Amino acid sequence: MRIGIGYDVHRFDPKKSSLKLGGVSIPRAQGLAGHSDADVLLHAIADALFGAVGEADIGEQFPSSNPRYRNAHSQIFVEAARLAIKRRGWAIQNLDAIVIADAPHLGGHKSSLRQSISRLLHINPEQVSIKAKTTEAFCPSGQGIAAQAVVLVNTRNKKTKVAK
């Protein structure tokens, strides 16, 4: 069994009028600044997945200095991480993620976020937990969105042994 943790944060970009989060378009929300599509949730998830198997983070694997990743869909980062896990003989057991933002409110979007992420990871929606928290006007105090993700992976086709 191994655990990975990921974190990412992006500022709002007043020039962008659409927000991608977890691979889902969030209507009427300001977009985020970034080299790729700035999907802060998928970036945190990709880093958690890469971390679980000891691979370099997305900044190293998909550097912003490479024009190939300009405006890239963050799903490609998650797919690369999912394949790295599979290649090494691991399987995703569950993913727990938190989106930290004062706006937009994500209560009505959690189900579609779970569905989108479970499809990307080839796991059941029940294995994905998405939480949304506000900062109570603390940090980043309405200036952007942060996300954290934790993933548990286990060897494929083997039962987890429980310590007695």
Q: Which residues pair with 153 in a beta bridge?
A: 2, 92
Q: Do the domain assignments include residue 21?
A: yes
- The model's confidence at residue 158, banded by pLDDT at 50, 70 and 90, is low
- Is residue 111 pLDDT above 90, yes or no? yes
In this structure, the strands spanning 90-100 and 128-133 are: parallel
**For range 27-31, the mean pLDDT:** 82
- In whole angstroms, what is the distance from residue 12 CA to residue 114 CA? 23
Q: Do the domain assignments include residue 162?
A: no
Using CA atoms of 2, 52, 134, 140 in order, give the dihedral in degrees to the nearest 10.
140
- pTM assigned to the model: 0.90
- In whole angstroms, what is the distance from residue 73 CA to residue 120 CA? 12
The confidence score (pLDDT) of residue 70 equals 84
Q: Do the domain assignments include residue 60?
A: yes
What total of structural domains would you count in the chain?
1
**For range 141-151, the mean pLDDT:** 90
Q: 103: domain CATH number?
A: 3.30.1330.50
Q: In one letter, which amino acid is 67?
A: P
Express as a percent the part of the chain with pLDDT over 90. Answer: 68
Q: Do the domain assignments include residue 160?
A: no
Question: How open is the CA angle 121-26-9, to the nearest 5 degrees?
Answer: 70
At residue 114, φ and ψ (nearest 5 deg) are -60, -45
Domain enclosing residue 67, as ranges: 2-155
At residue 21, φ and ψ (nearest 5 deg) are -145, 120
- In whole angstroms, what is the distance from residue 136 CA to residue 159 CA? 42
- Is residue 163 pLDDT above 90, yes or no? no
DSSP 10-24: EEB-TT---EEETTE
- Is residue 159 pLDDT above 70, yes or no? no
Q: Which H or E run includes 42? A: helix 40-52
Q: Do the domain assignments include residue 104?
A: yes
CA distances from 17 to 30, 33, 72 (A): 5, 11, 17
- In whole angstroms, what is the distance from residue 49 CA to residue 158 CA? 19
